[in-house]
Amino acid sequence: MAQASSSKCNLCGLINGVYFCYECKTAICKPCKTIHSNIPASRNHSITDLNQVDRAAYTFLSECKTHKQEFSLYCSDCECLICSKCVTSLHNNHKFCDVENAVKEARKSAGLQVVKLKETMQSSSTIIKEIEEIHIPELQKRQKQTQSITANVTSIMKEAQQIINSKGKIKITEYEDDQSIETERTRRDLANMRQNYKKQAEACSILDNLLREKHGMTFLSAYQILKCDIENGSMTTPNIMKPYQPSAFHEQRFTEDIIQSLCTQFKIRLNDVASRQKADGTFTERDDQNEPIRLGQRFSEVFEDTWSNAYEVLKPKKTESKKEDEKEEMDEKTIDILQNVVKVIYEFCKKTADSQVNKLMMEMLPPIFDPMNTKKECKGDDETVAKTEKMAKDYRKAVAPATIPILKQNILTQELQCKVLPDISIGKELKEYVDNCVNLIWYMCIQQPPMEIVWGKRGEKFNKEMFRFSGKKGTKFRLTVWPAVLFHKEGPLAAPGYAVPE
């Protein structure tokens, strides 16, 4: 434990000390130890090997400053050593105990804190290693991706200088700012963790050494000094935020944004071109991810990917003791939960889509038919109302990306967690399933006309045109595993469903 430097005997001043007296706080050589032990005043002093003492680690007081008497008791209320006179003065009516008992309890507490500090250090070490080996390389990798994105953006900017330059600079700044902010935060976290780890290691080392101290009052005095620093929370490991994952760069979406800006500036020319294309039959709609055909394909992909992951998370663990019919019933309950999620989302989106258009029309119509705001009720001619409704639906579709995040939150908290998943933890796989369903079903509901989601009814004849068999074959519906999608009500099939037959 000790790291005491060589010092002369304080009694003779000639020979290097080999012993240390706690009460005298002095080094004593071997010859003088005999004299020191024969003096009545110092006969009962505590003496130990000088090499076992680290006088820099603590300052030990053996007597009461107020009464100038040796400590003899420990005040449990004040958590300090006291003399016999303190009992009737400063610590009157307090609880006392023997010093050795106090030392014993303090050693036990210090031992537990050493264990906890070592566990905390291990956690800190793991986090530091993760930052150094995973987060920092990931940031370097992301920096290369940012540079690649910048090159792509720059090449697109050349197509229409004035508008594209503005759009491109905004996009580049967005990614570079994300990179700069995240890099700075990660470096700051790493510096803080290293500093914290250093404090923890120092405190652990001192405590570890202090536990080997044989002199009780010396240990207690030193431990109390360190105890406050350890328990004030400054040595706990802070939570480190995971690196922020920026949104992926979508070249098609970025290009479409530029095209939209160009279309706004050259609207008349664009309309003329579109009119000529429609007249000669050469006009074709662009391949949009949210057009009905692609929505049907993407809805099928949800069943192939995220549905399976959610099913594996939700299904109960099967045991050998359960009968086959019980296992089948468990499977059906899991499928029912996943299908109820789709049903709730679908009904909520249909209702919200209609409400959104009605609210938009209520705000759009009055300024047209009652510009002076003089009428209590405002009704216009059918043609204008129809045009306004179409504009409201077009606007609803244009702002769908802004609507979807709010829908996801409301559906998850107000609908699913209350009605379908009240006792189920929403993990990563289940949330991904819900998010994908909300995203696709909302776009289905705001198509003109809206797309239709269809379930097979139990006991009815199995519709082979709309559904595929899931497992065995049969003639009647038993359970819908995944619904079919129609381009519109009673319209052609956009994507087939899957069902279990009787």
340 falls within a domain: yes
Sign of the torsion angle spanned by Cα atoms 413, 415, 420, 423? positive
CA distance 378 to 165: 46
For residues 434 and 385, membership in a common domain is answered with: yes
For residues 272 and 419, membership in a common domain is answered with: no
pLDDT tens digit sequence for 398-415:
888 888 999 988 888 888
Looking at the chain, how many residues does it have? 502
For residues 348 and 486, membership in a common domain is answered with: no
Q: Is 90 exceeded by the pLDDT of residue 145?
A: no
pLDDT tens digit sequence for 201-240:
888 888 888 888 888 888 888 888 778 777 765 666 666 6
pLDDT tens digit sequence for 25-57:
788 898 898 888 888 888 888 888 888 776 554
Q: Is 70 exceeded by the pLDDT of residue 287?
A: no
Q: Are 487 and 295 in contact (CB under 8 A)?
A: no
Question: Where on the phi/psi map is residue 13: left (φ > 0), alpha (ψ -120 to 50), or beta?
Answer: left
Q: Is 60 exceeded by the pLDDT of residue 320?
A: no
| Residue given tokens 């996943």 in the structure block | 338
For residues 205 and 105, membership in a common domain is answered with: yes
pLDDT of residue 60: 57
4 falls within a domain: no
8 beta partners: 16
> Could you give the C-alpha distances from 13 to 37, 49, 51, 413, in angstroms and in order?
18, 18, 18, 80
Q: What number is the average pLDDT over the span 455-475?
A: 84
Q: What number is the average pLDDT over the span 325-337?
A: 73
**Token pair in block for residue 64:** 């009461």
Question: Where on the phi/psi map is residue 149: left (φ > 0), alpha (ψ -120 to 50), or beta?
Answer: alpha
Q: What number is the average pLDDT over the span 334-353?
A: 91
254 falls within a domain: yes
For residues 264 and 352, membership in a common domain is answered with: no
For residues 302 and 431, membership in a common domain is answered with: yes
Q: What number is the average pLDDT over the span 269-290?
A: 49
For residues 106 and 166, membership in a common domain is answered with: yes
Mean pLDDT of the chain: 79
82 beta partners: 73
Q: How many separate domains does the chain show?
A: 5
pLDDT tens digit sequence for 401-452:
888 999 988 888 888 887 777 777 778 888 898 999 999 999 999 998 899 9
Strand order in the sheet with 96-97: 80-82, 73-75, 96-97
236 falls within a domain: no
Choose the final residue of a domain: 404, 427, 447. Answer: 447
- CATH number, domain containing residue 473: 2.30.22
Q: Tell me the backbone φ, ψ of residue 477, rounded to 5 degrees.
A: -70, 140
Give residue 347's pLDDT band: very low, low, confident or very high (50, 70, 90): very high
Q: Which long-range contacts (CB under 8 A, 24 or more apart) does 42-49 make?
A: 45/21, 46/21, 46/22, 46/215, 47/19, 47/20, 47/21, 47/22, 48/19, 48/20, 48/22, 48/214, 48/215, 49/2, 49/18, 49/19, 49/20
For residues 432 and 467, membership in a common domain is answered with: no
CA dihedral 35, 36, 42, 44 (to 10 degrees): -90
Sequence-ordered list of residues with C-beta below 8 angstroms from that of 326, at least 6 positions apart, any chain: none
Of 432, 436, 407, 431, whose CA–CA distance to 421 is shortest?
431
Choose the final residue of a domain: 90, 118, 146. Answer: 90
- Considering the chain, what percentage of its residues have pLDDT values greater than 90? 11
> Could you give the C-alpha distances from 405 to 169, 421, 442, 492, in angstroms and in order?
26, 20, 11, 30
66 falls within a domain: yes
For residues 366 and 496, membership in a common domain is answered with: no
| Helical pair 161-210 and 216-231, crossing angle rounded to 10 deg | 170
Residue 414 DSSP label: I
For residues 307 and 424, membership in a common domain is answered with: yes
For residues 369 and 469, membership in a common domain is answered with: no
Neighbours of 220 (CB within 10 A): 25
pLDDT tens digit sequence for 365-382:
777 766 666 555 656 677
252 alpha-carbon distance from chain centroid: 30
User: Which residue segment(s) compose the domain that 465 sits in?
Assistant: 451-502
For residues 406 and 475, membership in a common domain is answered with: no
Q: Is 80 exceeded by the pLDDT of residue 113?
A: yes
CA distance 297 to 286: 16
Query: What's at 24, amino acid-wise?
Result: C
227 beta partners: none
Q: Is the peptide bond before 316 cis (omega within 30 degrees of 0)?
A: no
125 falls within a domain: yes
pLDDT of residue 245: 64
500 beta partners: 479
346 falls within a domain: yes
**Token pair in block for residue 221:** 């005095």
Give residue 164's pLDDT band: very low, low, confident or very high (50, 70, 90): low
Sequence-ordered list of residues with C-beta below 8 angstroms from that of 94, at least 6 positions apart, any chain: 75, 76, 77, 78
